A and B are shown apart, each in its own frame.
Chain A
Amino acid sequence: MTDKLGEPIVEIIDLHKWFGNFHVLKGINLKVYRQERIVICGPSGSGKSTLIRCINRLEEHQKGKIIVDGIELTSNIKNIEKIRSEVGMVFQHFNLFPHLTVLENLTLGPIWVRKMPKKEAEEIAMHFLEKVHIADQAHKYPGQLSGGQQQRVAIARSLCMSPKIMLFDEPTSALDPEMIKEVLDVMIELAQEGMTMIVVTHEMGFAKKVAHRVLFMDGGTIVEGNTPEEFFSNPKHERTKLFLSQILH
């Protein structure tokens, strides 16, 4: 079904990355199409974070090609900044700006990167805060919010830049169980509206519900990728089976 969606928004061709002598990513090939939702799972240290951080060049790759929305990622700083402003990223530890209020966290990008008038930026910010069900906290500082609330603010902060694709790096793994749901709910709503998403997570319920494809990474390669139904009921590789048996008990 994916090839009906036309040009891929992210295209990764034979991607290699080393940390010093350590070969982290060993030839990754991946196409992500518009409105597609991809979940990446795999054991710790398999290179999941590194892979999605390469997509907005928080990590630099040494070999291969990454093309985002038609622009190839090279060391050209202007291209990098352009791509980063089109790609939203949500981190495991939220990374909100603690010295700014929630509202200021959200308007910062639109005002300074998109050069939007302050008033307009604030309207957009309030719109997305409502969307993540947290508009009443707009004038608090991040330090006064719970983890789940902070993560929803972080999602809204990315949305304010009207990103073409959103990257999530284990967005719920630093949260207490009762807060995981509120964040996942927001992400599911986002998915239902057709946002293109690449999500690193071990929340298999989420994967079953919204993913078009689930990828399993191990040792710096994508071992297998399939629709959630196939992936969970009929994994092909031994390593995938072992991993699934561990996380699904």
Chain B
Amino acid sequence: MSTATDEAYESYYVPADSKLPIFASLGIFLTVFGMGNILIDMTAGAEHSIGAYIMMVGGLVLGSTLFFWFKTVIEENHAKMYSNQLNRSFVWGMSWFIFSEVMFFAAFFGTLFYVRVFVIDWIGGVGDRGPSNMLWPDYTPEWPLLNTPDPEQFPGAHKPMGWFGLPLANTILLMTSSFTVTMAHHGIKEGNRKKIINWLALTVALGVAFLICQVLEYYEAYAHLGLTLDSGIYGTTFFMLTGFHGAHVTLGTFMLAVMLGRAIKGHFTADDCFGFEAAAWYWHFVDVVWVGLFLFVYILGS
């Protein structure tokens, strides 16, 4: 089948050679290599680790390379080198990246479900596992698991983290921020710069407020509830799920802050605002993950 098209073809921009990716590769390698050495030395009980310096250099190389990378992309875009087709590539790229992030969280949510539904009972000898309770006769299946099978290695928390208070406040903060970021988007569509900047600044503030609340919550957990990373599977799933989410909020807040800076510089028009939209989608994704967390880790989990 032959299909010819009469539409004029907007040439697809293929960049010339670039020094950016090799520095980014070097940067990310040094960062994780340094991190690995820090952890190895930490667990071996060494006082100092050369890994810290390697990681610092790596982080610097990676950070500055990414800065110049995004700068280049933004300048190329302003120089009108990007066709609509190329902008669609960015849209697809970001969407698939968010999908990969969804799958990353799926691994940890899956872990939580598997532990709650199966493992907790099986350790108590329920089901096809047979009498595994011979190892730990005092163990009783419960969730949240405060009395771990082996309390010497894993002293359980005294109390679970409730959903009322800080977690509820955080839910409200994030929900609101999803709304405010949409208002900023409306601002872009209307070409109202003041509206963009105000709503976006409010969104960033809400993100920061969320992070502050999370720090307070972690302090509460460690100081008063005995809920720690090494307090057994409840602490493990609690901190890993909320911790990775917090890391994503941090990144999302940073992205939105960059977009705020760009908005102040006068970037973004109604039909050219992919950077903002990408950050906003990421923010909504982080928001949805939180809803899952609030439901499964806080309300149903405590």
**A and B co-occur in one complex:** no
Chain B residues near A (Cβ < 8 Å): none
